[in-house]
C-alpha cells in the first residue's frame, strides 16, 4: 500500500508532547444539574510533559510506559483511546493508530495527566491521519473528552470558566519555579467534588457569588513576581482533598515550613505545588521536602509551558 510521503508524516510516526498543569486559583460553585461544578480557575502549564508517539495500526491501540504506568488502563477507557476514536468518528476516518504514551505527569494527581494524553493523541492523530483540523476544531473535540483537555492543547496560562473548558488566554510575565510534592496513590476527581459538596462550611449555600478570578490575580501574573503570586494562590477543593487524604495537609504545611512562599493543591489533588522565589530556592525546598519524607516523590518544575505540540516527525529514510 502506498502512503503519501514527503511533507506528510503519514508513513512514519508522529511525536507530540503535551504539558501537565497546576491551578493557581480554583474557585468552585454549587453543582449544576449536569453533575458538573461551575469553576473560575487559572491554569498554568508546567514543564512536566506527556509524550505520545502515534504510528499507523489496524485498530486503536495504547501502550503506556513511564511514571505510574501500571496504574493507567490501555483499553477503550484510556482518554487517549477515546480521543483517537472521537477524532476518527468526527472526521469519518476509518484508520487505526498505535499510541505509545510515556507518562511524566502523575496519574490521578490533579495535574491533568490524562487530559494531556488526550490532547496529545488528538493532535498526533490529526497529523498522522492528515485530517487537518484547525486548532479550534480540535478544541471542541477536546472539550467533549474532559474539562481539562482543551487547556492541555493550548498550554501557557489561561482563565477557565464553565466546567473549566471555556478558556481565555491570560497574560503572564517571567518564569515561576515550583516544587511538586507527588503521591503514589491518586485521588478521584468526582470523589473530591462530592466531598466538597458535603463540606459544611463550603457547601452550596455558602458559596459567595459571583464566581470570578480577581484583578489581584491578573496583576500578580503580569508582575512576574513570585511573592505577589504567592499571595493569591487558592484552591477551594483543598479542604475536600485533605479530608480524603490527610497527607495533603501535611505536604502543604511542610512546604511552607521549609521555605516555600506558599503552597497550593493542584486541581482535585493530591499533588501539592509549592512556589519558590527562584530556581536555587526550589532546589533547596525540594531537598528539604525529600528529607521530611512527606511525599512519595518531589520534583522541581517551571511554569508556564507550551501546549500540545509536534516534537519531531519521525520519517522513514528514503
Ligand atoms: O470532565 P472530567 O471527565 O475531567 O470530569 C471528571 C468528573 O469530575 C466529572 O464527572 C465531575 O464529577 C467532576 N467535575 C465537576 N466539575 C467540573 C469538572 C469535573 O464536578 N467542573
* Residue ranges of domains in the chain: 4-170, 176-303
What's the CATH architecture for 4-170? 2-Layer Sandwich (3.30)
Name the strand (E) or helix (H) holding 118.
helix 113-128
Residue of the CA atom closest to atom 21 of ligand 1: 163
208: exposed, middle or buried (C-beta count within 10 Å: 0-12, 13-18, 19+)?
exposed
| Spacing, Cα 147 to ligand 1 middle (Å) | 7
The verdict on whether 296 is a catalytic residue reads: no
**Pocket of ligand 1 contains residue 163 by CB under 6 Å:** yes
Confirm if 86 and 145 have CB atoms less than 8 A apart.
yes
Main-chain phi, psi angles of 101, to 5 degrees: -100, 125
Catalytic residue, candidates 51, 148, 236, 254: 148
Task: Say what the pLDDT of residue 318 is.
Answer: 45
Report CA(219)–ligand 1 centroid distance (Å): 29
CATH class, 176-303 region: alpha beta
Contact 44, 24 (CB under 8 A): yes
Kindly report the backbone phi and psi dihedral angles of residue 13, in degrees, each rounded to the nearest multiple of 5, phi listed first: -145, 155
Q: What is the pLDDT of residue 205?
A: 59
Give helix then strand counts, H and E, for the chain. 10, 12
Cell 487505526: give the residue: 96
What is the reported pTM?
Answer: 0.92
Catalytic residue status for 103:
no
Each residue's pLDDT, cut to its tens digit, for the chain (318 residues) gives 333 333 444 458 999 999 999 999 999 999 999 999 999 999 999 999 999 999 999 999 999 999 999 999 999 999 999 999 999 999 999 999 999 999 999 999 999 999 999 999 999 999 999 999 999 999 999 999 999 999 999 999 999 999 999 999 999 999 999 999 999 999 999 999 999 999 985 455 555 557 999 999 999 999 999 999 999 999 999 999 999 999 999 999 999 999 999 999 999 999 999 999 999 999 999 999 999 999 999 999 999 999 999 996 555 554
Amino acid at each position: 500500500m502506498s502512503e503519501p510521503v514527503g511533507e506528510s508524516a503519514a508513513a512514519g510516526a508522529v511525536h507530540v508532547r503535551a504539558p501537565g498543569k497546576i491551578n493557581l486559583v480554583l474557585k468552585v460553585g454549587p453543582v449544576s444539574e449536569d453533575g458538573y461544578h461551575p469553576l473560575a480557575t487559572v491554569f498554568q502549564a508546567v514543564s512536566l510533559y506527556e509524550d505520545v508517539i502515534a504510528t499507523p495500526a489496524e485498530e486503536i491501540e495504547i501502550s503506556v510506559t513511564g511514571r505510574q504506568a501500571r496504574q493507567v488502563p490501555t483499553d477503550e477507557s484510556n482518554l487517549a483511546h477515546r480521543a483517537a476514536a472521537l477524532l476518527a468518528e468526527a472526521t469519518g476516518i476509518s484508520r487505526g493508530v498505535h499510541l505509545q504514551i510515556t507518562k511524566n505527569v502523575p496519574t490521578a494527581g490533579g495535574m491533568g495527566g490524562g487530559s494531556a494524553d488526550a490532547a496529545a493523541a488528538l493532535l498526533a492523530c490529526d497529523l498522522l491521519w492528515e485530517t487537518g483540523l484547525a486548532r479550534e476544531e480540535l478544541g471542541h473535540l477536546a472539550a467533549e473528552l474532559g474539562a481539562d483537555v482543551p487547556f492541555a492543547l493550548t498550554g501557557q496560562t489561561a482563565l477557565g470558566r464553565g466546567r473549566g473548558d471555556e478558556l481565555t488566554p491570560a497574560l503572564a510575565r517571567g518564569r515561576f519555579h515550583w516544587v511538586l510534592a507527588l503521591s503514589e496513590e491518586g485521588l478521584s476527581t468526582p470523589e473530591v467534588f462530592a466531598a466538597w459538596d458535603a463540606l459544611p462550611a463550603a457547601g452550596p449555600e455558602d458559596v459567595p457569588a459571583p464566581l470570578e478570578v480577581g484583578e489581584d490575580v491578573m496583576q500578580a501574573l503580569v508582575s512576574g513576581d513570585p511573592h505577589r503570586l504567592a499571595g493569591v494562590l487558592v484552591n477551594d477543593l483543598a479542604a475536600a482533598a485533605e479530608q480524603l487524604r490527610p497527607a495533603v495537609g501535611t505536604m502543604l504545611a511542610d512546604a511552607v515550613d521549609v521555605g516555600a512562599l506558599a503552597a497550593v493543591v493542584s486541581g482535585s489533588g493530591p499533588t501539592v505545588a509549592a512556589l519558590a522565589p527562584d530556581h536555587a530556592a526550589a532546589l533547596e525546598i525540594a531537598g528539604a521536602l525529600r528529607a521530611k519524607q512527606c511525599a512519595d516523590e518531589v520534583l522541581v518544575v517551571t511554569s508556564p509551558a507550551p501546549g500540545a505540540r509536534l516534537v519531531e516527525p519521525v520519517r522513514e529514510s528514503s
